[in-house]
Amino acid sequence: MEREEVDFFSWRRLSLEKLYERYDSLLKDYGIKLRPVLIEIVDVDTYWGLWDASTRTIRFAKKLLQEYSWFYVVQILGHEMAHQMVDECYGGWGGEGAHGPKFQRACEELRIWEPFRRACVDFQSTPLEVGMEEDSESAKLLDKVKKLLALATSKNEHEALLAMNKVRELYAKYHLEHQAKQPGFYHHWILLKKNRVERYESRIFSLLIEHFFVKVIYTSYWDFDASHWYQAVELIGTRENVLMADYVYHFLTHQLEYWLKDAVERSPVAFSRVARKSFRLGLLAGFSEKLQVSEQVSGARGVLGKAMVLFQKDIALENYMNRVYPFLRSRASNTTMIDRTAFATGKEVGKTIVLKRAVQEEGGSSGKLLV
């Protein structure tokens, strides 16, 4: 047998193993009972997934697994399981159509995202973000933010700080104005492509929760190409807040490496591994302190203060999180050794950082900056 054939059979075996595991976990998580099924991976171009009631088989297109994210695959799996539920639990379609009310009810029980409840999903027009449709009002907001972030490149520290604070106030105002409209909640995944979340990354995600109106979920995803589990982080909130939080994450990760490199080059002694970690954490502490100062200046009655209080007491978002993730648990924080000198140095640098447009490098942007 050729090596390529052996590799394919090994890949298919592992892929099927993960699909069966996910199938079982969906049933367990949501208390659903279905008869066991056969799962197959087939080389077709006519569909992404298919429920065959006559053979009780769920089929996946090989192309889906090889070219698209685990999070897409899970939604397609749920879609086909919803068809199975209609057949086995709801007495069949009953003439209402394959994607009618019974199917939608099954999708709701399985917590399938709305874009994946349709007969056809166009992955070219449906980004990894779930439900990230843009309206004219949010487009205007993003355009204003883009212009303000351009102003934040000013060498005048006062002007740059004013621009950054104005961006945050715009988002806070938008959050307040649209809260009463019961907005939908959106999901975006940051795929870390590694086995662990670093301590400084956890601190960035804490910053997003504290200052940028989003919920953060630590999760993992199966990389079909590498046949390996990797870490990911899911951002949940209104569309505009999720976009901003994603921007801030990539902006800060770039800034960490930029200023760490600068500090290492300036230091008369070598930076140890602990010193590098400490510098990153210190920089983030300084940046967080700057955000806190701007919120204190705004005050509890200011736009930022009102928006943060409202976000912390957002019952609709809490109910949504409890429904989608009924077994969610808080992530325990881990401890780390700190080099106090490096931490203090990083903190002073962090106090000087302002949000601004991406630093352009040869070949394009240094990160996935969305505005």
Q: What is the pLDDT of residue 342?
A: 84
Mean pLDDT of the chain: 79
Looking at the domain assignment, is residue 371 inside a domain?
A: no
98: containing domain: 3-116
Structure tokens at 358: 């991406």
| Other CB atoms within 10 Å distance of the CB of residue 311 | 21
**179 and 276 share one domain:** yes
CATH code of 35's domain: 3.30.2010.10
CA-closest candidate to residue 134, choices 28, 211, 240:
240
**How many Å is the Cα radius of gyration of the chain?**
23
Q: Is residue 98 part of a domain?
A: yes
Burial 166-178 (b: 16+ CB within 10 A, else e): bbbbbbbebbeeb
| pLDDT score, position 340 | 78
pLDDT for the residue 38? 97
Boundary residue ending a domain (64, 97, 116): 116
Q: Which helix (H) or strand (E) holds 104?
A: helix 101-109
Q: Kindly state the average pLDDT of the residues 197-214.
A: 89
Same-domain check for residues 210 and 87:
no
| 159 located within any domain | yes
Task: Report pLDDT digits (tens) over 347-360.
Answer: 888 887 777 654 33
DSSP codes, 192-228: --SSS--HHHHHHHHHHHHHSS-EEEEEEEEETTTTE
- pLDDT for 119: 84
Contacts of residues 203-210 at CB distance under 8 Å and 24 or more positions apart, as own/partner, are 203/281, 203/284, 203/285, 204/248, 204/249, 204/252, 204/253, 204/284, 205/233, 205/249, 207/248, 207/252, 207/284, 207/287, 207/288, 207/291, 208/235, 208/245, 208/248, 208/249, 210/288, 210/291
Mean pLDDT of 333-345: 71
Same structural domain, 336 and 206 = yes
- The reply to whether 99 and 197 lie within a common domain is no
Tell whether 41 and 161 lie within a shared domain. no
Asked, for residue 262, whether it belongs to a domain, the answer is: yes
Per-residue pLDDT tens over the stretch 84-142? 999 999 888 777 888 999 999 999 999 888 778 888 876 654 444 444 455 566 667 76
Residue 51 CA to residue 37 CA, distance in Å, equals: 10
Same domain, 72 and 22: yes
In a domain, 30, yes or no: yes
pTM attached to this predicted model: 0.77
CA dihedral over 31, 27, 315, 330, signed as positive or negative: positive
Alpha carbon dihedral 84, 87, 92, 93, in 10-degree steps, equals 10
Q: Tell me: do 105 and 162 sit in the same domain.
A: no
Residue 270 tokens read as 């070598």
Position 290 scores a pLDDT of: 82
More confident residue, 230 or 95: 230
Q: Which amino acid is at 11?
A: W
| Single residue among 116, 142, 166 that ends a domain in this structure | 116
| 24 assigned to some structural domain | yes
Q: Are residues 159 and 297 in the same domain?
A: yes
Which residues does 116 contact at the CB level (< 8 Å), separation at least 6? Answer: 75, 76, 78, 79, 107
Verify that 106 and 245 share a domain, yes or no.
Answer: no
Model pLDDT, residue 347: 86
Cβ-Cβ contacts under 8 Å for 205 (sequence gap 6 or more): 197, 216, 233, 249
pLDDT digits (tens, 9 = 90+) for 127-186: 444 444 555 666 677 667 766 666 555 555 556 666 677 777 777 777 676 665 655 778
pLDDT at residue 259 greater than cutoff 70:
yes
Residue after which a domain boundary falls, among 116, 136, 158: 116
The two beta strands, 364-365 and 38-42, are unpaired
Clarify whether residues 59 and 160 are in a common domain: no
- Domain-embedded: residue 143: no
| Higher-pLDDT residue of 265, 310 | 265
Is residue 350, in this structure, part of any structural domain at all? yes
Same-domain pairing of 46 and 155: no
**pLDDT of amino acid 362:** 35
Say how far apart CA 97 and CA 107 lie, in whole Å: 15
Give the residue ranges of DSSP H helices in 187-330: 199-211, 239-266, 273-298, 303-312, 315-324
Query: Is the Cβ–Cβ distance between 117 and 80 less than 8 Å?
Result: no
**187 shares its domain with 109:** no
The pLDDT-based confidence of 298 (bands split at 50, 70, 90) is low
Number of domains forming the structure of the chain: 2
Q: What does the pLDDT read at residue 351? A: 81
Question: Which residues face 57 on adjacent strands?
Answer: 38, 52
Contact 228, 241 (CB under 8 A): no
Answer for the pair 233, 196: CB distance below 8 angstroms, yes or no: no
48, pLDDT greater than 60: yes
d(CA 231, CA 252) in angstroms, rounded, equals: 19
